[in-house]
């Protein structure tokens, strides 16, 4: 059972454009939502994260928008650069659990020069 | 070391062989996680240690999978009688502790296992 649904599966944008990746969840017990970036041959690395009591969080060119009532959250990458080309995973953590990450299936982002 | 290290980086096994995958977490990190990442998929949780205690093994797919962290530092994931469906990248992650929800997990580069 996929607990975190992510879309699109792949995304191509031009340099300078905005990349938007969406995720949705069902379990309201999730209370922490990180985004991870993974380059080929590397492990995932934390990019940015949000708690459900906040509707938006911005760090540099990366912004998370969170809609608690809709149980949806999204990652926006402003001024996308070729170096942003990677696979992005949204994830969720259950309150009171073992803090294991529940990942979406990933979005492969390609930023063309 | 500066980060989480895993060895070997690549492992080819014949079906039915046993394999052992090693994880060296960041020094001083209390929590250690193992994840399995199939090709083109997101990582899936296997098991979690807090120091030497295995607190959650709900993600281990079968009794052929076994993990240990006897001294609360290095961890080993063992897969017995490997099957082709075990082919995946096995990721290890560590975090400082349970100080707060959502503590950052730092991932190693993974071990790519191919079972022929």
Q: In which region does residue B110 sit, left (phi positive, over 0), alpha (psi from -120 to 50) or beta (all else)?
A: left
Please state the φ and ψ torsions of residue B48, each to the nearest 5 degrees. -140, 135
CB contact under 8 A, B109 and A45: no
Least confident of A94-98, B3-7, B40-44, B46-50: A94-98
Residues in chain A: 113
Q: How confident is the model over B6-27, as pLDDT tens digits?
A: 999 999 999 999 999 999 999 9
Give the integer Cα–Cα distance in Å for A105 and A84.
18
Beta bridge partners of A91: A103
CA distances for A33 relative to A24, A93, B29, angstroms? 11, 7, 21
Distance from CA of A42 to the nearest CA of B (A): 5
Over residues B77-87, the mean pLDDT reads 97
Question: Is A73 an 8 Å CB contact of chain B?
Answer: no
pLDDT mean values, one per 10 residues, chain A (113 residues): 88 98 94 94 95 93 95 97 98 82 96 96
* Position B99 confidence tier, pLDDT thresholds 50, 70, 90: low
Give the integer Cα–Cα distance in Å for B20 and A90.
29
Instruction: Work out the number of other CB atoms within 10 angstroms of the CB of residue B77.
Output: 24
Contact B82, B13 (CB under 8 A): yes
Q: Which residues of B touch A97 (CB under 8 A)?
A: 56
Question: Is B108 an 8 Å CB contact of chain A?
Answer: yes
Structure tokens at A91: 């994830």
Q: Which residues of A touch B33 (CB under 8 A)?
A: 100-101
The rounded percent of chain B whose pLDDT value lies above 90 is 91
CB contact under 8 A, A100 and B56: yes
SS3 A82: helix
Contact A30, A92 (CB under 8 A): yes
Residue with tokens 């995946």: B88
CB contact under 8 A, A101 and B33: yes
The DSSP string of B84-96 is GGG-EEEEEEEES
**pLDDT of res. B101:** 66
* Position B98 confidence tier, pLDDT thresholds 50, 70, 90: low
Residue B29 confidence (pLDDT) above 60: yes
The rounded percent of chain B whose pLDDT value lies above 70 is 95
CB contact under 8 A, B105 and A45: no
Question: Is B72 an 8 Å CB contact of chain A?
Answer: no
């Amino acid at each position: 059972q996929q607990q975190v649904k992510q879309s699109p599966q792949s995304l191509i944008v031009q340099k300078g454009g905005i990349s938007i990746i969406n995720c949705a969840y069902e379990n309201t017990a999730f209370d922490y939502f990180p985004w991870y970036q993974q380059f080929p041959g590397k492990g995932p690395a934390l990019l940015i994260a949000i708690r459900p009591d906040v509707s938006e969080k911005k760090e540099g060119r990366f912004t998370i928008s969170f809609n608690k009532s809709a149980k949806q959250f999204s990652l926006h990458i402003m001024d996308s650069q070729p170096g942003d080309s990677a696979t992005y995973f949204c994830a969720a953590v259950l309150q009171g659990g073992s803090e294991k990450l529940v990942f979406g299936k990933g979005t492969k982002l390609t930023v063309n020069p | 070391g500066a980060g989480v290290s895993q060895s070997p980086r690549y492992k080819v096994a014949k079906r039915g062989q046993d394999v052992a995958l090693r994880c060296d977490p960041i020094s001083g990190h209390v929590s250690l996680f193992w994840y399995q990442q199939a090709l083109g998929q997101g990582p899936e949780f296997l098991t979690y240690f807090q120091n030497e205690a295995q607190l959650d093994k709900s993600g281990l797919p079968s009794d052929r999978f076994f993990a240990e962290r006897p001294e609360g530092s290095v961890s080993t994931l063992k897969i017995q009688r490997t099957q082709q469906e075990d082919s995946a990248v096995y990721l290890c992650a560590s975090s400082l502790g349970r100080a707060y929800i959502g503590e950052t997990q730092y991932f190693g580069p993974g071990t790519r296992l191919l079972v022929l």
